[in-house]
Amino acid sequence: MIRCAAVIAALFFIALPARAQDVTLRAHAGNLNVSGTLLSYDGQVYRVDTAYGTLVVDALAVDCAGPGCPELALLPPRFRLLAEDAAMAGLLAALIRDFAATQGRQVLAEPDALALADAGGRVLARFALSTAPAAEARQRIARGGAELALVDAAPWPPEGRVLGHDGLVVAVAAANPLRQIALEDLARVLAGEVTDWAGLGAPPAPIALHAPAPGTGARRLAEARLGPIGAGQAHDDPAALAAAAAGDPWALALLPARALRPDLAVLRLTDRCGALLDPEGFALRTGDYPLALALQLAPAGGRLHPVLRALRDHLGTASAQALVAGAGLADLTVQRHPAAEQGARLVNAIRATEGAAGLAALQEVVAAMAGADRLSLSFRFEPGTARLDPASALLAADVGAGIAAGAHAGQVLLLAGFGDDARDAQALAGAALAAVEAAMTDPVPGAATLTTAAFGPALPLGCADTAAGRHLNRRVEVWQRLR
């Protein structure tokens, strides 16, 4: 009973000796008290000798009263949190306040930190927030200079959590007559091979290119999908990038969608295979948009402090995800697309189909899709391998935990693999299945049934002869149907 009430990890990391005296531990909800002799307090849990034997209680879930309580305010911990830009630092601050509210705590604004305090104003912990590009954040965490970082598309240890999704978009001044750009043309602009708008079908004028700075997650993603960026002005902060682009009628800016302004227009991305690639919410969640970003709250290596683990776990709650959506990001809410709503990509697949074998493969996909909903959950892989990429590895753990908890009870989840050929697709589907099943511990009765299918290259999302297209095409989708 006590463990059920004390489900959140401990708050304090300083190990303090405790006198063997009487204590009463009260759950914040007020519906559970534990009294007894305090045996020890190691900064994370209380060990109390009670009439029911020795009980272990997580400190963050309770308040301690009585002469045996350790003096917790002697040295409250100070956590250093980094964000890639000011907007994300603001989101972190909002999430900390939301986390505190769910624990019956309050947040006090101090000159250099947010202080987590109890109802009486006693400071329990401090969060110091600052901004740093992903490369600098990685270095500071490696040196022990920070505990958590909110960054774009960074491969961090598996203790991290995806907070939400964003995408890089191509923005121009609202008066610019251009309305779309091919991925190949965008790559040439970024490389400095096209420097005049006439090369893109617009009136002649020099292109003023603005791009994310080296070391940012956005820059690494753009170069991985489109090739080196060898031209233009670099910006560390997305808001500054957007402001610079808005002030120049001939600017072309590559920036996170969350930084868009009303005086900028977004160019639709196309590829020569006929697909239109829009950064809408479903495509960002599934990674079907070639420049999708997964925002991660990433920790330093090693054991994560209990209060930071509790904060990390709070990210998936409804209140936290509402804040994520309010910040202009695609949240983690699972969406469904019935087969009837997937006409556009079926049209693209028909265009790409060649020969009788290709038609038969496409018909097999359509037959499997009938009566199924595609979920906004997709797994993607390291280039040329069946290893889940970092964001997909985290997703597999979340999907497995959800299945084990009964989130898809009574349903069949089909892991549909798409790859360079049938063997590649089968390997990808098998890898995704193994990762999800590894995260399923003690599933509830009636939990979802998992199956796999391999469809090879039958439903392409991009051109197979480009890095961006291959990344889109090698994937495992999650389809759902009732038993």
- Tens of pLDDT, residues 450-468: 999 999 998 888 888 888 8
Degrees, nearest 5: CA angle 464-470-475: 125
Q: Where does the chain hold its CATH 3.40.190.10 domain(s)?
A: 165-286
- Read off the pLDDT of residues 381-403 as tens digits, 9 standing for 90 and up: 998 899 998 889 889 988 999 99
Q: Inform me whether the pLDDT recorded for 14 exceeds 50.
A: no
Residue with tokens 């009487």: 22
Q: Using pLDDT thresholds of 50, 70 and 90, give the confidence band for residue 7.
A: very low
Question: 359, 303, 366, 336: which is closest to 43 by C-alpha?
Answer: 303
DSSP for residue 177: -
Q: Which residue has the tokens 């992903």?
A: 134
Please enumerate in sequence order all residues whose Cβ is within 8 A of that of 454, keeping only pairs 6 or more positions apart, or say none: 417, 419, 422, 425, 426, 428, 429
Residue 61 is encoded by which pair of tokens?
A: 């879930």
Domain(s) labelled CATH 2.30.30 in the chain stretch across: 2-74
pLDDT of residue 154: 53
Q: Thinking of the domain 2-74, which architecture would CATH place it in?
A: Roll (2.30)
The percentage of residues in the chain with a pLDDT greater than 90, rounded to a whole number, is 47
Higher pLDDT, 250 or 344: 250
CATH number assigned to the domain with residue range 165-286, chosen from the 4 options 3.40.190.10, 3.10.129.10, 3.90.1170.40, 3.30.70.2860: 3.40.190.10
Q: Copy the structure tokens of residue 438.
A: 């590894």
Domain(s) labelled CATH 3.30.1330.60 in the chain stretch across: 334-482
pLDDT in tens, 40-72: 776 667 889 998 888 988 777 788 888 888 775
pLDDT band at 155 (very low <50, low <70, confident <90, very high): low
Q: Once rounded to an integer, what is the mean pLDDT over residues 124-149?
A: 85
CATH top-level class of 334-482: alpha beta
